[in-house]
Structure 1
Amino acid sequence: MEWTVPQDAPAAATDFQREVYCLLGLPVDALTEQQAVRLIRGAAEQGRRCFFSTPNLNFLVGARSDAEFRNSVLRSDLSLADGMPLVWIARLLGAPVRERVAGSSLFEALGRQAGRPLGVYFFGGPPGAAQQAHARLQGAAGGLVPAGFQCPGFGSVEDMSAPATLQQIAASRADVLVVALGAKKGQAWIEHNLAALDVPVVSHLGAVVNFAAGTLQRAPTGWQKLGLEWLWRIKEEPSLWLRYLRDGRAFLRLMATRVLPAACLSRWHRASPRALRDAALAAELVDGVQVLRLRGAWTGANLAPLREGFDRIGRAGAADVRLDLAQVTHLDAASLGLLLLLRGHQSKRGRRLEIVGCTPRLRRLFHRAGAEFLLDGA
């Protein structure tokens, strides 16, 4: 194999050891709430960057038509299933995403976790909500303490990214930055400013500001477990009904045209033991492009060589990558999830990921998985 990896190359900026699964084109980490809390708190305490996304049904639907919104999830350090529809999809596809990890629950769990108190900065939300959340956290006992707040109003991402705004966040020395600007604008604001933000943990956690402020009440636990929190949210915020109606219709279409066909075919066409044993990759440098030629079947059971190969790419100098899948017979949700991470990694570096040699059967597989955009060579 030929790799362009300097001897003193730093560790890959993307963690290709993550156990992620492709759910309708978005990577989702197979983590429990407890595991996610432990990782996020560890990052905050160590001052290590962790930009985590919390995709729900609204994310899934929005990402279908908005490439930059989708890319913000692909470029995240963690992607957690904040929505029971994602858990249901995972179950149908055989992916071990066994529980919902809601951003609101995660925030509450961080407050209960033992360890030094983490400073929280609230950015966004309705007028007065961030200030009220800050004040309520001031008087609460637990693992979270207030570090500051801003309500930037309703301007553009650029308007909300003035140097004075970022300096105020930096001066707070917060450990966690909670952004609440609406999913698409919030993700865009984070991506626009991430390099300049001197805060280890950053996430768009929309309703958390309202819940922390006490202006909205979360659904009872039973409603959450049944996947009915959306109904409670409509009771609390009647204006949300139209969004939920649109997302619900889109979800039913995606279930009928993508998820159910993919689930059925995954049961009828399993990778043979021989194809799994034959899985291998060869690497070479061709005209400055890192080319990986894969063969055989790739599933969650045999991804170690692929993870190692992608790690090498991550440690190498920035280069375009070409994956040749002409001899690949099968990809599952885990292997597609790894391809999503590679796409995100290349995107962060401003480089291309080109996938070539797909058979018609593989193309149909990418389509059913909602990952057909991986074949566009962007």
Structure 2
Amino acid sequence: MKEAKILGVSFSTLGFNATVSDLVARAEAGQRTHVVTANPEVVMIAKENAGFQSILDQAYVVPDGIGIVYAAKMLDKPLHERVTGVELVDALMQEANTQGWKVFLLGASPDVNRMAAARLEKDFPGAKIVGRRDGYFSADEEQLLINEINAASPDLLFVAMGVPRQEFWIAKHWSQLNTPIVIGIGGVFDVLAGTVKRAPVLWQKLHLEWLYRLLRQPSRWKRQLAIPRFVGAVLIEKWGKR
């Protein structure tokens, strides 16, 4: 797999369809893969947290965020297409629907987790939701949870705990998990449950989903501060190479 390094984070350069095909092949071969859907916020967390950076160094990182694509263009890196978490989940669930794959849903609130599972069962009846658990559990419950996941033997494990908690959790238990494809998907369960609406298609085409989310959820403004910091860091790297 070819990679493009953006501010120290190595991204897969595969386009969306090629990424889906690659992950399907990995799942069928039983090739265990930790997928991280990374946007500028994720990159900036990695710059400030060596432990998080080491997790990304071992993961299959895809560019979730148009800012990553723009940065790649500025830095002359061979990365040209977003691979968003919500679309990746949909594509893999379509494959699960066709192949009869087993899926485990971990994370979000109890209600959101339940509604997301109901939505997936309705839209992808050929897939098997073999287990689910919300993200509210104690450290003492983690081993029982790992045992439950392994007993269900899913082909796909979607972990929706938010960044960076989900990535740290996956990395912590990686040696125990037997699932081929494990993906940290942030707030995708909220979208599936209908508690958070995705930006309209026009906003998506204009690459303004981040602004739509900010207008809908003003409380996100602190998180959005990562964007100008990311742009500044990219410019410094670009100018530093001249």
Tell me, yes or no, whether TM beats 0.5. Answer: yes
Kindly provide the amino acid, as one letter, of the partner of residue 190 in structure 1.
I
Answering whether residue 108 of structure 2 is matched by residue 125 of structure 1, we say: yes
Residue correspondence of structure 1 range 171-320 to structure 2 within 5 A = 171-244=151-224, 246-262=225-241, 265=242
Summarize deviations over 1:132-162 as a string: whole Å, max 9, x none: 111222222366442211113175xxx1762
Separation (CA, whole Å) in 2 of partners of 1:44 and 1:192: 21
Provide closer, same or farther for how the CA distance between residues 26 and 85 of structure 1 changes in structure 2, counting only shifts above 3 A. Answer: same
Shift of 1:175: 1.0
Question: Does structure 2 retain, via aligned residues, the 8 Å contact 1:92–1:260?
Answer: no
Deviations 1:213-271 (A, max 9, x none): 22212112332233211112223433212211x21231232133223443xx2xxxxxx
Instruction: Give runs of aligned pairs for residues 99-138 of structure 1, distance below 5 A.
Output: 99-113=81-95, 115-138=98-121
2:162–2:187 contact (8 Å) kept in structure 1: no
Quote the residue 2:39 is aligned against: 56
What's the Cα RMSD here? 1.9
Give the letter aligned to residue 221 of structure 2: W
| Per-residue deviation, 1:83 | 0.9
- State the alpha-carbon separation in 2 of the partners of residues 125 and 194 from structure 1: 20
Greater C-alpha Rg = 1
Distance in 2 of aligned mates of 1:58 and 1:93: 18
- Percentage identity across paired residues of the two chains: 29
**Equivalent position SS for 1:202:** strand
Deviation by residue 1:37-69 (Cα, 9 ceiling, x = unmatched) = 111122223322111111111111111110111
Judge conservation of contact 1:52–1:202 (CA < 8 Å) in 2: yes
SS class of match (1:182) = coil
* CA–CA separation in structure 1 for the residues paired with 2:140 and 2:41: 23
CA 1:96–1:189: 2 relative to 1, 3 Å: same
Give 2:72's aligned residue.
Answer: 90
Structure 1: gaps spanning 5 or more residues: 1-17, 266-378
Counterparts in 2 of 1:143 and 1:242: CA distance versus 1, 3 Å:
farther
- Asked if structure 2 preserves the Cα contact closer than 8 Å seen for 1:137 and 1:145, the reply is no
1:56–1:81 CA contact under 8 A, matched in 2: yes
- How many corresponding residue pairs? 241
Contact 2:41-2:227 within 8 A present in 1 as well: no
Q: Quote the residue 2:57 is aligned against.
A: 74
Matched, 1:140 2:123: yes
TM-score, normalization: structure 2? 0.91
Aligned equivalent of 1:24: 7
- Summarize the Cα distance change of 1:173–1:91 in structure 2 as closer, same or farther, 3 Å threshold: same
Amino acid at match of 1:122: L
Worse-matched range after superposition: 80-89 or 111-120: 111-120
